[in-house]
Amino acid sequence: MTKPPMPDLADFSPFRDLPPEGRRLLERGATSRHVPSTTPLLHKGQKASGAYFVLEGHLRVYALAPNGTEATLYTIAPGETCVFALNSLFNDLLYPAWVQAVEPTTLAVLPAATYRQLFAEQPLIRDFTVRTLSSLVFHLMGQLEEVHAYTLRQRLANLLLTHAASSGELRMTQQQMGFHLGTTREVVARLLGEWVDAGLIHTRRGATRLLDPAALSRLLDGSAPSAD
């Protein structure tokens, strides 16, 4: 198969709309990098060397517990940036989590100096930066609240409801769901099992189909957890 057209950083907002001198900076500084699936990109404690932008694919940012269980903090889709980079760029803080490509991913990397210059000179980049950081704060606060406020059962129901494609099917193994929620496969299987018995969902290898989304939603508030 022929290579699909190589995406370019300059095609993405906000870089697309930069004035000429901004684009010239990009062209001079940006490099591109391809990472195969499941490749770890960044370790906890490592220092990020520049601003990373996802052009194609997906990155996953996750925490890793001493006992080996993972928990997804957030994911980064094409057109978005790894805020860890921004963090390190402006703060000299070490990155507090791990990053991994979940599918073959193309990144653009801007050296810290270039990004800082863009930030100083280009209002578009400033707004983009603040908005990105700000959304992330919002997202993280939501996650943090979720962990404290909801049971695993509720969070799993929420995962199914929010991530199911329009077809009503979530294509994800139970192991992946476990990682996502910071728990183990067995626990996920147990909970899904309950719902299968109750006729709310149907499971098969690698996917879960929602049969009664309304009933799942109801699980989210009522604290009465199981069927009795």
Long-range contacts for 16-22 (Cβ within 8 Å, ≥24 apart)?
17/124, 18/118, 18/122, 18/124, 18/125, 19/122, 21/121, 22/118, 22/121, 22/122, 22/124, 22/125
111 interacts with a copy of itself by CB under 8 A: no
Task: Say if residues 155 and 221 touch (Cβ distance below 8 Å).
Answer: no
Least distance to a copy of itself from the beta carbon of 192, Å?
A: 21
What is the C-alpha separation between 120 and 145, in angstroms, rounded? 34
Task: Say if residues 138 and 156 touch (Cβ distance below 8 Å).
Answer: no
**Stretch of 6-14, 41-49, 158-166, 167-175 lying at the interface with DNA (CB under 7 A):** 167-175
List the interface residues with DNA, window 78-117 (CB under 7 A): none
- If binding means CB under 7 A, how many residues of this protein chain bind DNA? 26
Given a copy of itself, DNA, none, residue 198, with its beta carbon under 5 to 8 Å by kind, binds none
Least distance to DNA from the beta carbon of 184, Å?
A: 5
145 interacts with DNA by CB under 7 A: no
**Stretch of 81-89, 105-113, 124-132, 180-188 lying at the interface with DNA (CB under 7 A):** 180-188
What is the C-alpha separation between 196 and 190, in angstroms, rounded? 10
Q: Which spans of this chain sit near DNA (rule: CB under 7 A)?
A: 67, 69, 151-153, 173-175, 182-187, 189-190, 192-193, 196, 203-207, 225-226
